[in-house]
Amino acid sequence: YMRSCLMSNCQRRFFRLLVSACAGILAVLYASCATAGDPPRIDYSDEKSILYEIETASKTLNTDPLEGLVRSRALLDNTNGFPEVQNLFNQASERSRAEFDIAVAAGRWSDALVLFRSLKALGIAPLEWSEALLLENRLLAWKNEGNLTLAHLDEPVQSTPEDEAPPSVIVSNMIKGTVTVWVDKGLRIENGVGYADRVIGSGFFIDHRGYLITNYHVIESEVNPEYEGYSRLFIKTGDDPDARIPARVIGWDPVLDIALLKTEIKPQAVFSLGTSEDLKIGNRIYAIGSPAGLEQTLTSGIVSAQKRRLLSLGNVLQIDAPINHGNSGGPIVDEAGRVQAVVFAGIEPYEGLNFAIPVEFLRIILPALYAGGKVTHPWTGSFGKTAQLAGSTAAMGVSVVYTLTNGPLSVAGMPAGTVVTSVNGVRVRTLEELQGVLIRERPGTIIKIAGIPPELLDESRFDSFTETEWYIRLSQRPELPGKKIFTTDVESRALLPVFGLDVERVGATKKYLVRSVVRGSIADESGFSEQDVVEIREVLFDDENKAVSIQLYTKRRKSGYLDAFIGLAASLDSPSYF
């Protein structure tokens, strides 16, 4: 029965029943395989694997129609001669459209947009609706709720920075709209003596109903489930700095380090969100905050640099305005008082070396912050690098170096080595551009990715290729992608995205031969090269510092194949994950 030849229809039905009855056993077997050899993958060339995937996709139709839709589309694109696949895709399409109708009827416009964009990517969106019409309805709902901040989110006033101080009336108004954020964490015990434990930051109002913005790291103890101590959140205004006004956290984003707070007072002034896209190096900016707890301090400086890669999902601004403890979460504004960025970091030993989160990121996540809870971001379960044309510095797209086992790209059938060139028809040439497109989507959305698979890639004739298309359902980005990879995939594959080592097994032990080394990676900087021999001795996770270290026994070509023990350490997050 388990022959490699094609099965009859009778055999197919029998096998589906067998798969359904033994799904739990197969899952356990797959999990055990992940620790012993190559991880399980969807093999679209194997009929048994296809039938198992059909069964898996069928089970998701009622609980998660979009998951069933994207899996059935992957089966449709990667198989031939299975009438069950077309039927499954039709069922998933109908179920997803029904889910869209339910979201529209309930006025859940953000959910309806996810469903519509997913259906649109597949070319099966309802003809009576458009994305513009859905956005119009969501805008009307925000206005009816009295949320004018979100209602005017897509109407930023363009900034025209000039090298002169803002008028005194604007300065006075800006200061009235800022507060000191105060987190009381009780007592800290050191050497048997208790000391007051406080976190001081800054914040600024964006809504007349009492909503304000600060940094996530300022209020982390309020929402982090791993924190077990005492924590109480207050704000202080300039009018009465001795009064502690209770506040609560509405939404928070650990990745972009932004949080939305709510207090029950009516602010005297609120800030308008500008757009930092027009800021240039040398433009004058102003920072307002509470350095060392000194409320409503105004400092000035210039934009020192742009596109500093300090966040996992995007670039930040480097500024030279004086920033100290207590400034975190305060606004960076232009001469007109419009917010251009949010202060979030400084390097203490270096005066004038400070950083701020561009306001564009705040604008992207603000609806999710108002919705409440932890903001999540999408990802494709991949690690990649900007690809360049041979003999040129011109970027051609994003090379997929690694795909997570059973992650979005793996399910779609996209092989590692593919160069991604567009997302939903939007051309992407660099990893930063790709992440800039993805961050605007919600997890769970189906997107269309176009690119060149490795077997067709010829950089010298790049423009002559017809791109291949894959349909990807974005999953939720883990807070620590590297740890997700290590706990999901086998160690040998995890070495590639985390340390930059692409290896293949040699024998039955944890001994491997290095096939390639990612340029610029930790392994590259540590002197590893092709044909080196490595043996994994120990992997240790440092949850406090969000890092992983690995101990290797190695024989390196550059060292004359002499025996050596080497330790490597890497962050569990990286700007190269997407």
* Residues that are catalytic: 217, 257, 328
CA neighbor of 283 nearest in space, from 158, 156, 160: 160
For residues 208 and 270, the answer to whether their CB atoms sit within 8 Å is: yes
**Which of 201, 222, 220, 223 is CA-nearest to residue 212?**
201
| Residue 473 Cα distances to 73, 354, 404, 480, 506, angstroms | 11, 37, 14, 20, 35
Task: Find the distance separating the first CA and the last CA of the chain, reported in whole Å.
Answer: 42
Neighbours of 304 (CB within 10 A): 18
- Beta-strand pair 501-505/511-517: antiparallel
Token output for 232: 């109480």
Instruction: Estimate to the nearest angstrom the gap between the alpha carbon of 423 and the chain centroid.
Output: 16
Residues 6+ apart with CB under 8 A from 130: none
Half-sphere exposure of residue 486: CA atoms within 13 angstroms, side-chain side = 19
Q: The tokens of 128 are what? A: 């009576």
Cβ 242 vs Cβ 202: under 8 Å: no
Look at the block and give the residue holding tokens 């995937």: 53
Contacts of 392-395 spanning 24+ positions with Cβ under 8 A = 395/429, 395/430
Asked whether 442 and 110 are in contact (CB, 8 A), the reply is yes
Residue pair 148/155 in contact (Cβ under 8 Å)? The answer is no
Phi and psi at 365, nearest 5°, equal -95, -5
Determine how many CB atoms are found less than 10 A away from the CB of residue 552: 25
Reported for 112-118, long-range contacts at CB under 8 A and 24+ positions apart, including other chains, are: 113/138, 114/66, 114/442, 114/444, 114/445, 115/66, 117/441, 117/445, 117/446, 117/447, 118/66, 118/69, 118/70, 118/444, 118/445, 118/446, 118/447, 118/473
Q: Are strands 533-542 and 511-517 parallel, antiparallel or unpaired?
A: antiparallel
Closest listed residue to residue 274, CA positions, set 215, 317, 333:
333
Nearest to residue 176, comparing CAs of 214, 200, 205, 212? 205
Burial degree of 507 (CB within 10 A; 0-12, 13-18, 19+): exposed
CA atoms of 263 and 273, how far apart (whole Å): 20
